Amino acid sequence: MATLLHISSSPRSEASESLSLAQAFLDTYAQTHPGDTIETFDLWDGTLPEFGPAAAAAKMAVFAGQEPQGEASRAWAASLDTFHRFAAADSYLFSVPMWNAGIPYILKQFIDVVSQPGTVFGFDPETGYTSLLEGKKAAVIYTSAVYGPGRPPAFGSDYQVPYFAEWLQWIGIKDIQAIEFRPNLATADADAGRAAARIAAITAATDF
């Protein structure tokens, strides 16, 4: 038995294109992997800790080989709790809408919370970073309403996929499947692209 963790960064509920595709993936996965467990981490549910001054102080203390103290210690414990929730899964589904050419700030917050020395990465002054989250896989649903490959620069740029895919590989997740839905909702009929993306999500879930 394996655990699939869906990490949702869209706050739009039923109106979300990324969540609609994620649901198609999850429904198919449940049918084709009946012995597995599916869990969901809605990053907007209020359980994600902040990453502010105390957490930053804790991170730098750990980098220096010290034990975080006081408020920093509590922030460090919250970060570790979130990391353990993340690391307990065997595989991941991320639903990632494009916000201002990049990823939603709540997903960046999640990344900052779990990306700590000794959790997803190790560091050596001579050799640099090492990935610590090996042997897992991820499916990522990327959506955008205006940006799309081949469109003129006035329709935006993509800092969404390069950043997020690089982070996954940096922490050790190399087996990555991407499902993209990028209609130009201002001018085009999105139904054909939506149907194709749904098929891609179902296919990915079946083989995941």
Decide: residue 52, CB within 10 A, 0-12 exposed, 13-18 middle, 19+ buried: exposed
- Specify the 3-state DSSP secondary structure of 97: strand
Model pLDDT, residue 76: 97
Model pLDDT, residue 17: 95
CA distance 47 to 67: 24
Domain count, the chain: 1
Model pLDDT, residue 184: 78
What are the tokens at 167?
């982070």
Residue 187 confidence (pLDDT) above 80: no
Tell me, what CATH number does 116's domain have? 3.40.50.360
What are the tokens at 137?
């896989």
**Both ends of the chain: CA-CA distance in Å?**
14
What are the tokens at 101?
């050419």
Of all residues in the chain, what percent carry a pLDDT higher than 90?
89
Residue 33 confidence (pLDDT) above 90: yes
Grade residue 190 by pLDDT with cuts at 50, 70 and 90.
confident
Residue 188 confidence (pLDDT) above 80: no
What are the tokens at 180?
């993209």
35-59 per-position pLDDT tens digit: 999 999 999 999 999 999 999 999 9
Range 19-32 average pLDDT: 98
Task: List Cβ neighbours of 152 (8 Å cut-off, separation of 6 or more).
Answer: none
Residue 186 confidence (pLDDT) above 80: no
Model pLDDT, residue 189: 72
Model pLDDT, residue 207: 94
> Residue 181's closest CA among 145, 208, 150?
145
Grade residue 150 by pLDDT with cuts at 50, 70 and 90.
confident
CA distance 34 to 143: 28
- Contact status, residue 121 vs residue 168, Cβ threshold 8 Å: no
Q: Which domain holds residue 34?
A: 3-207
Decide: residue 35, CB within 10 A, 0-12 exposed, 13-18 middle, 19+ buried: exposed
For residue 19, the cross-strand partners are: none
145 vs 94: which has the higher pLDDT: 94
